[in-house]
A and B are shown apart, each in its own frame.
Chain A
């Protein structure tokens, strides 16, 4: 298990490094979107697998609870610590010890060329940037899982203040605020889609 976990850590970090440093060095936004898209696909597939043996969810809250409890513990070996909602389609998931960030540390050599006292703010800034890039993948995971469960949403990530940046907030905003009476089958367009897509 420990090996698998180290592998995931390494893969995520290497992916961020490749996209941010190599492929899209000049365009960090594009890199973020690419990383998020990879997470989306993985989450899409994982949600299919992890919901296999359970009854269907009747509403959005149940699906979110599934993400908070079961999906989160499959991914991060713990449940989330706090879930807040404004009852209008925004949920905030809070994890006080986000596992994928527990082993992140700054590379000292990139920063201490002219480290003076007042550079600590800039150092913190870079640290926050690096860590934010690491969080796009889990954001995509959650968004992919929710989308596959029929909830189109946007997911972002936010960290607490440095240096204890293990507390991770993930606001989930549900885009289609369907009334509860709407079809549980989602918003598909009736039977007209029944043809082979070639």
Chain B
């Protein structure tokens, strides 16, 4: 994997995204402005999302586009996309933007007073096509889930992250895993795929 270092503060001119579908560009830029702190009026503009174009998720009711694990130094540990398109860069960008939102959530806890210090952070931000959910553990490891589902139940997301976290804990308990490095375990990948497949199917365990 090539090192990806997308700075949210650096302006991205549209022609840099040439070769990609034009519909992706405004969405990316919007995520960008959210991440740099310029508050946009929340409301219908984001939620009135157009049908998913471009990289559509796999058939069979899988609504999760991507899951990611980011370490305590904001180093990516794991990123798995569940689309057929080659959009790792775009998903990296979305995940990267969400780190800013997590930072903001945690440093200004007033806005989320009832859920103070809870590991589940809820909806981080919506984009045109996706919703991004976050989860921050005690050890400052961030779990990020990007979904196309417009009506994700919080309980479902919570349950998903709980299982995801359990899988992560088992993966890093491997004595051959070096802390802070990419999780290369194949069984972890398989387990995450299972969890993603069972997401939203109502099987709460």
Contacts and interface: CB of A to CB of B under 8 A. Distances in A.
Contacts of A190: 74
Interface string B1-21: 101111110000000000000
Interface stretch (A47-55, A94-102, A153-161): A47-55
Interface stretch (B42-50, B131-139, B149-157): B131-139
B169 A196 contact: no
A194 B107 contact: no
Interface residues of A, number: 32
A113 interface: no
Interface stretch (A4-12, A73-81, A163-171, A180-188): A180-188
Contacts of B119: 54-56
A58 interface: yes
Contacts, number: 101
Interface stretch (B22-30, B98-106, B196-204): B98-106
A44 B179 contact: yes
B73 A193 contact: yes
B31 interface: no
Contacts of B137: 48, 51-52, 56
A49 B182 CA distance: 19
A194 B70 contact: yes
A188 B74 contact: yes
B190 interface: no
Interface residues of B, number: 41
Interface SS of B by simple majority:
loop
Interface string A34-48: 000000010011011
B1 A196 contact: yes
Nearest to B99: A191
A185 B106 contact: yes
B117 interface: yes
A56 B76 contact: no
A1 B27 CA distance: 55
Nearest to A47: B139
Contact of A195 (B76, B99, B139): B76
Given A55-B119, A184-B106, A150 B139 contact: yes
B33 interface: no
A186 B107 CA distance: 11
A7 B202 CA distance: 41
Nearest to A55: B117
A65 to B, nearest CB: 13
B166 interface: yes
A45 B179 CA distance: 9
Contact of B140 (A54, A150, A189, A191): A150
Contacts of B166: 52
A149 interface: yes
Contacts of A189: 73
29 contacts: A44-B179, A45-B172, A45-B173, A49-B169, A49-B173, A51-B137, A52-B137, A53-B162, A54-B119, A55-B116, A55-B119, A56-B138, A58-B117, A185-B72, A185-B103, A186-B73, A188-B72, A191-B74, A191-B99, A192-B74, A193-B73, A193-B74, A194-B99, A195-B75, A195-B76, A196-B75, A196-B182, A198-B1, A198-B182
Given A48-B169, A51-B138, A54-B138, 8 more contacts: A52-B165, A56-B117, A56-B138, A186-B73, A195-B76, A197-B181, A198-B1, A198-B3
4 nearest A-B pairs in the assembled complex, by CB-CB distance: A51-B138, A55-B117, A188-B73, A195-B3
Interface of A: 41, 44-45, 47-49, 51-58, 148-150, 183-186, 188-198
Interface of B: 1, 3-8, 70, 72-76, 96, 99-100, 103, 106-107, 116-119, 136-141, 162, 165-166, 168-169, 172-173, 175, 179-182
